[in-house]
Structure 1
Amino acid sequence: MFDLKIFRENCLKMTQDELAKFIGEPLEKISRIEQKIEDIPLNIFLTIASKTGMTPDQLSQYEKPVACPINPEDTWQQTKFTKRTIVDYIEQGCAANATFWGDDYHSFIDGLRKGISAAVKKPKVALIGRSDVGKSAMINAIIGTEKMPTSWTPTTSIVVYLKHISDRPSYIEDEAWVFKAGKDASESWDDSRLSDEAYCRQWKIAGGTADILSSYGVRQGKHFATKEAGAAVIFVESEVLKNCDIIDLPGFGTGDRNEDDAITLNAKKAADVLIYLSIANGFMREEDIQYIKESISSLNIIEQSSEVDIPPLSNLFIVASQAHTVSNGNVTSLNDILDLGCERFEKTLPEGYWARRSSVSKKSYGHDVLKSRFFTYTTDIEHLRAKFESELKKILELLPRLINVRIKDFVRIYAEQSGIRLDIEIRTYTEMCDEREKYIKLLKEIEAHETERANDNQNRRMGIFEKIRTYKADSIDRFASEYGTLITVDNIVKIMKDRKVEKKKDDVQAFSSYLSSVLEERVQSILETKSAHLSKDIDDYLKVFASSHNIISSSDNPAVTINGVEFNVKRAFASGLAGLATFAGLAFWAGSLGNLGAYILVAEGVSLLSAVGISIGGTAAAVSSVAAIGGPVVLGIALAIIAALSVFAIFSGGWEKSVAKKLVNAYDEQDALMRFKDCIETFWDQTEIAFSAAADSLENEWAGYVDNLSTMISEYDIEAIKHKIAVARSIKNFFEHIPL
């Protein structure tokens, strides 16, 4: 039976009002027909056939075009098998040795169990873009079923997580759950805690079928105005969801709710693959370019892996959506649009934009690499989406393989580190059996100097805080100076002439985007430089901490000892960083730990793909940390400047000076300098929090070490110590035989 609404939306691509005018009928008539209040009259049916050039038979047999779902090879199955094998090995080992091992060695086993269970997470694919570009429609096509509400008006108003049906916990019987909104954009339901029933029930506000999104998750829904809902999860039987989770984010720039942009910016940080949609007939407007640049700065650098060959920027997709609207899908026209879009994007990039990413991945980024990440998409015409679907399928097959490699790397490193710690314990306990008096003397020395040591360490700790505050002041002063030099009429005119900016609206807006990126690069450069200085300060702080306890460390062995008794200073300090929202200025130091840093953080539940930024170098970690704080601020200022220029008329004569004046005034109106200063202050305030957490962890672990030493001496029992040696050897053997 002919469905007018489906035909109008999917074939004609018209609104009800446009169709009414097209065929010369009242809008109310069209509305009643589409609502099935009345049947379509024969004369209207024939008019539509005539106007569209179709025969009545063709029209009556019209069906909505359906894109085939993406069906990647289930490479997650191998990753899942690896995880299950290791978890089973742990559980069986614990069950068989629980009585013999006792409680003393839970930390060794729990760290491995926690790292495997919490850090092995499916890749997340996030779709972002301005409102009404077809994100939800693309998701429905990718998964092969209509689960996301779609409309001609902006639709999705909350963050929606789509997961495979097999990932649904046993306590959830519904197809979908809706969760309440947090107090602000940074506080929301955490999908990584899906297995935590108490947590999820605390956040839940409704459950049911996927249709529940029509009430809570769309702008037309009856609960939209209450702002009650913030996120939802839907469980779907779909091949593609075996390899990944998909996140549908609210569109930018709706104006409906100020928090939508902040919610999207916060949620996309979890993405391992980013799909940015920009409508083909308005492709890569300056606002799109700003959003994409902000997104790239925080996107995981997955292409650095030597084990799995991943081409540069493979987890970035810039998509011209609804491609059929451009000359009926003409390929030449669409390629021209992609070329121009890429060219506009590159014109806004400051010199050395890709240098940081290249220093991490050891790969080159140029025009060809960037252009390869531009795609067309429409559900209507298969060949216009074929390249996108092929590339998406490819990366969704590669990422589980990369995670599988990372699992094995983590377990291997964990086993090695645990073996080192256990060897030291075995040696310590053996010596304690033979040389108890030495350890009694050691404990007395520690206790005699503990008050002095604690006071001295507190003073040095305050010294680090003072350095952080000095770096904050220096960073603000340095940026204010550079801002004052850059954002002047004469300097802007000079840069415009150097860059050969033409007297065109697009050129001027692209230049304003470039200027914003230059400012962002200046902030990043200043903060990275100061963070590198802080990294050296932290190393000095830890060296003094070690020397104050006569701790001996080996360059080949990250474990450290006091006269043979293990205490790992760096490990104790770094453990305090796990779980923090950002490391801020300590990211550079954390990156210097290499695999040790990744091992510590993964053991605390940080995802394997996220930990890559730590294991491959401080620069990546520092850049990501800066972007996490500065990105939204820079984006907000840049969009406001672009908006100001959009209503600015470019006159003849000294037009460059007119534009420069307008830019300077726009930056002043946005109070840009103060907002950048606030961003820098926030960065260093977060650095203080991170250092405090790490220093507390160091002190707490040291206190635990001293207590353990005291217990071993005061409750000296030769048989008990021999038992500890036997247990340590047993656990070491357990780690040496983990199935990899």
Structure 2
Amino acid sequence: MATHADPSIPDDELPKILNKASARLYKELDETAIEFRRKLTKRDIIKEDVQKRFFTFWSERPDRCQHLFDDLTQLLCETLPKPVISRIDREINAVKNDKTQEYANSIEQYQTTVAKIEEYRKELEKAEKNEPERQREMRQKRTQVSKQIKELEKDTRKSFQTYAEKKIDVEFIEQMIRQRYDKKKEAQEYAPGYLVDLLQSHLESRISVNSEKLKAEIDAFLEKYPVPKLPNKDGIVVSIPFDTKGAFLGGIAGLGTYGALAAWAAGLGNLGSYILVAKLVSLLSALGISIGGGTATVISFVAAIGGPIVLGIGLAAGLASLVWNLFGEAWQKRLAKEIHQQFKKQGVVDKFLGGIDQYWQETATAFDKGADAVEAKCKESLKHLHEITSPDTQSKERIEEIIINLEKLRVFFANIPWDTQGECL
């Protein structure tokens, strides 16, 4: 955080300004954003840690901006590159290892097909005969997931509305003001933003929980896709490659937002074979932002409501002209009533509800896209099996050609050169 250090401000006042500003930020975010960061990093974050991230800035005065430049340079050239390069290194090596093993397995599977082509033909016949039933079952499973998405949306809305009603109640706001603020002006400026932050923090937590519930539904849906299989000579079951998760991810990769499916994608663990998956997931990972916990999957929701900071500022601006009477109710009560009215007037709860609706609609859209892609891939896989198990002699030649190409791909990924050495220029 950088604050303008106008030359008119005496040198000895600058540290006081930074300390005051950092203490104020720590107080407002301690229970929400900073607490989330504590859990994410598994370390304590105290007021002094926040204070170290505040700097003076005035471009015409090197003595009032050089510290910021030095610290920022160190952050960009030394601190950030290390974890980013380490993460990229792990991902690239995962792709190398996963793909090398994947193609090796595929070669074995196709070789098994050549050796047991008659058995594969029988399995394919069963699969084709069962195709109408399979499609009926998958439509039913798909409907169940879509219904679950709607139920999770309803649950999210209900949970938030119940919580919001308590937090924007006049008595709660008054008590919060009395506990947190000694001065009227400070309460006037920061109480609305604090309330907005509470609402968002609660909603992010609820969305995270519900997104986790959906992950299990998505996994169960994908596991239902049947693929003809045969045991090889060692008793290990093999099948012609049909990557349901990869197909599903490929279906949603072109979307700009994924809703709760971003949490599902993150739950795959090491992206490895799914490196092409989600632009959002990849971007956040590259920036060092974890979405494994699900909370960061609500980025689209935050954008939909205009952002908590924008909401907080707008509410505070609405209170700026409040006139304080000398008599009557305590100023805390009057301010609480005015904040309550401003929340109603500016439709804060409705904006959050709109963000919830958008989030789960994006989830439903992404699921439909992914499910369409998996179904198309399944039909394509059956068509491919039919092609390579055809009675004509060309099927064997086709398999041999596939094996040659797979071997080339295996060698390619096994020998990808990767050097993480680099420096900031």
Query: TM-score if structure 1 supplies the norm length?
Result: 0.52
2:422 matched residue in structure 1: none
Counterpart AA for 2:349 = L
Amino acid at match of 1:667: F
Alignment match, 1:525: 205
Alpha-carbon distance change, 573 to 363 in structure 1, aligned in 2, over 3 angstroms:
farther
User: What per-residue deviation string (whole Å, max 9, x for no partner) do you get for residues 420-463 of structure 1?
Assistant: 22122211221122111011112112211112111211111111
8 Å Cα contact 1:641-1:666 kept in structure 2 = yes
Distance 1:532 1:351, change over 3 A: same
Which one of the candidate residues 369, 384, 395 is aligned to 2:49?
A: 369
| Aligned match of 1:353 | 33
- Name the CA distance, whole Å, in 2 between partners of 1:483 and 1:608: 33
Q: Could you tell me which amino acid in structure 2 is paired with residue 623 of structure 1?
A: T
Q: Deviations over 1:213-252 (max 9, x none)?
A: xxxxxxxxxxxxxxxxxxxxxxxxxxxxxxxxxxxxxxxx
Secondary structure class of the residue paired with 1:351:
coil
Q: Which amino acid aligns with 1:325?
A: P
| Secondary structure, counterpart of 2:29 in structure 1 | coil
Per-residue CA deviations over 1:66-120 (Å, capped at 9, x if unaligned) read xxxxxxxxxxxxxxxxxxxxxxxxxxxxxxxxxxxxxxxxxxxxxxxxxxxxxxx
> CA distance change for structure 1 residues 325 and 551 in 2, over 3 Å: closer, same or farther?
farther
Would you say the 8 A contact 2:227–2:242 is kept in 1? no
Q: Does the 8 Å contact 2:157/2:353 carry over to 1?
A: yes
In structure 2, the CA distance between the partners of 1:599 and 1:423, relative to structure 1 (3 Å rule), is: closer
Q: Within 5 Å, which residues of 2 pair with 1:180-329?
A: 318-321=1-4, 323-327=5-9
Match of 1:392 in 2: 72
The answer to whether the 8 A contact 1:578-1:601 is kept is no
Q: Find the counterpart in structure 2 of residue 536 from structure 1.
A: 216
Contact 2:263 2:297 (C-alpha < 8 Å) held by counterparts: no
**Displacement after TM superposition at 1:693 (Å):** 1.6
2:3 maps to 1:341: no
Judged with a 3 Å threshold, the aligned counterparts in structure 2 of structure 1 residues 604 and 342 are, in CA distance, closer, same or farther, namely closer
Out of 243, 247, 269, the residue aligned to residue 568 of structure 1 is: 243
User: What's the secondary structure of 1:595's corresponding residue?
Assistant: coil
Residue 459 of structure 1: aligned partner? 140
Does residue 642 in structure 1 map to residue 316 in structure 2? yes
CA distance in 1, matches of 2:229, 2:398: 27
Give the partner amino acid of 1:444: E
2:414 corresponds to which residue?
Answer: 736
Could you tell me which amino acid in structure 1 is paired with residue 416 of structure 2?
A: I
Output aligned runs, 1:319-718, within 5 Å: 319-321=2-4, 323-327=5-9, 330-349=10-29, 351-398=31-78, 399-499=80-180, 501-543=181-223, 545-546=224-225, 548-549=226-227, 563-596=238-271, 600-602=274-276, 609-612=283-286, 616-619=290-293, 622-631=294-303, 632-652=306-326, 653-714=329-390, 716-718=394-396
Following superposition, the deviation at residue 466 of structure 1 comes to 1.0
The answer to whether the 8 A contact 2:38-2:44 is kept is: yes
SS state at 1:579 partner: coil
Cα distance in structure 1, aligned partners of 2:288 and 2:214 = 17
Name the CA shift for 1:375/1:532 in 2 (closer, same or farther; >3 Å).
same
- For the residues of structure 2 that align with 1:339 and 1:643, how far apart are their CA atoms? 25
* Secondary structure, counterpart of 1:502 in structure 2: coil
| Secondary structure of the corresponding residue to residue 566 of structure 1 | coil
Alpha-carbon shift at residue 720 of structure 1 (Å): 4.1
Segment of structure 1 superposing worse, 564-573 or 599-608: 599-608
Identity of aligned residues (%): 23
CA distance in structure 2 between the partners assigned to 1:362 and 1:732 by the alignment: 39
Q: Does the CA contact (< 8 Å) of 2:156 and 2:206 recur in 1?
A: yes
List per-residue Cα deviations over 1:536-582 (Å, max 9, x = no partner): 22122223x14x44779xxxxxxxx9743222222222232323222
Per-residue Cα deviation, 1:517-554 (whole angstroms, up to 9, x for no partner): 111112212211211211122122223x14x44779xx
In the TM superposition, what is the alpha-carbon distance from 1:363 to its structure 2 partner?
A: 4.1
> Displacement, 1:717?
4.1
Tell me how far apart the structure 2 counterparts of residues 521 and 682 of structure 1 sit (CA, whole Å): 18
RMSD (Å), alpha carbons: 2.6
Deviation at residue 687 of structure 1 after TM alignment: 0.8
Distance 1:341 1:681, change over 3 A: same
1:285 paired residue number: none
Cα distance per residue 1:30-60 (max 9 Å; x no partner): xxxxxxxxxxxxxxxxxxxxxxxxxxxxxxx
* Matched letter for residue 728 of structure 1: L
Matches of 2:73 and 2:398 in 1, distance apart? 57
CA distance in 2 between partners of 1:503 and 1:650 (Å): 13
- Which whole-Å CA distance do the structure 1 matches of 2:175 and 2:279 have between them? 50
AA aligned to 2:23 is: E
For residues 677-723 of structure 1, what are the alpha-carbon distances to aligned partners after superposition, in whole Å with 9 as ceiling and x for unaligned? 11111111111111112212221222222222122122544344334
State the Cα distance separating 1:629 from its structure 2 match: 1.8
1:615 & 1:549 partners in 2: Cα distance? 36
Superposition deviation, residue 630 in structure 1: 2.3
State whether residues 193 and 312 of structure 2, in contact with CA within 8 Å, keep that contact through their aligned partners in structure 1: yes
- Between the aligned partners of 1:366 and 1:701, the Cα distance in structure 2 is 52
State how many pairs are aligned.
Answer: 406
Q: Which runs of 5+ in 1 are unaligned?
A: 1-317, 553-560
Task: Give 1:110-189 correspondences, 5 Å limit.
Answer: none
Shift in alpha-carbon separation, 1:469–1:607, aligned structure 2, 3 A: closer
Q: Against the structure 1 CA distance between its residues 571 and 360, is the aligned structure 2 distance closer, same or farther, given a 3 Å change threshold? A: farther
1:40 — aligned with what? none
Give the SS at the match of 1:510.
helix
Q: Say if 2:259 and 2:298, in contact at 8 Å, map to a contact too.
A: yes
Higher helix share: 2
Amino acid at match of 2:300: A
Larger deviation: 661-670 or 477-486?
Answer: 477-486
Shift of 1:591: 1.7
Report the equivalent of 2:423: none
Q: 1: distance between equivalents of 2:334 and 2:323? A: 9
Q: Which amino acid in 2 is paired with 1:579?
A: G
- Partner SS state of residue 45, structure 2: coil
Distance 1:582 1:641, change over 3 A: same
Contact 1:633/1:675 (CA < 8 Å) preserved in 2? no
On the 8 A contact 2:153/2:357 being kept in 1, the answer is: yes
The question of whether the paired residues in 2 share the 8 Å contact of 1:344 and 1:510 is answered with no
**What per-residue deviation string (whole Å, max 9, x for no partner) do you get for residues 490-516 of structure 1?**
1111222233x2232123321221111
What residue number does 2:421 align with?
A: none
Work out whether residues 222 and 245 of structure 2, in 8 Å CA contact, stay in contact via their aligned partners in 1.
Answer: yes
Structure 1 position 390, deviation (Å): 0.7
Q: Decide which structure has greater strand share.
A: 1
Matches for 1:65-76 after TM superposition, within 5 Å: none
| SS of structure 2 residue aligned to 1:379 | coil
Shift of residue 656, structure 1, vs aligned partner: 1.1
- The residue number in structure 2 matching 1:272 is none
SS at match of 1:618: coil
- Sort the Cα spacing of 1:698 and 1:365 in 2 relative to 1 into closer, same or farther, 3 A: farther
Distance in 1, Cα, partners of 2:193 & 2:285: 31
Q: Structure 1 pair 574/355, CA: closer, same or farther in 2 (3 Å)?
A: farther
Q: Which structure is higher in RCO with an 8 Å CA cutoff and minimum separation 6? A: 2
CA 344–326 in structure 1, closer or farther in 2 if over 3 Å, else same: farther
Task: Tell me if the contact between 2:259 and 2:363 (Cα under 8 Å) persists in the aligned partners.
Answer: yes
Distance 1:359 1:707 in 2: 49
Q: Determine if contact 2:284/2:290 at 8 Å carries over to the other structure.
A: no
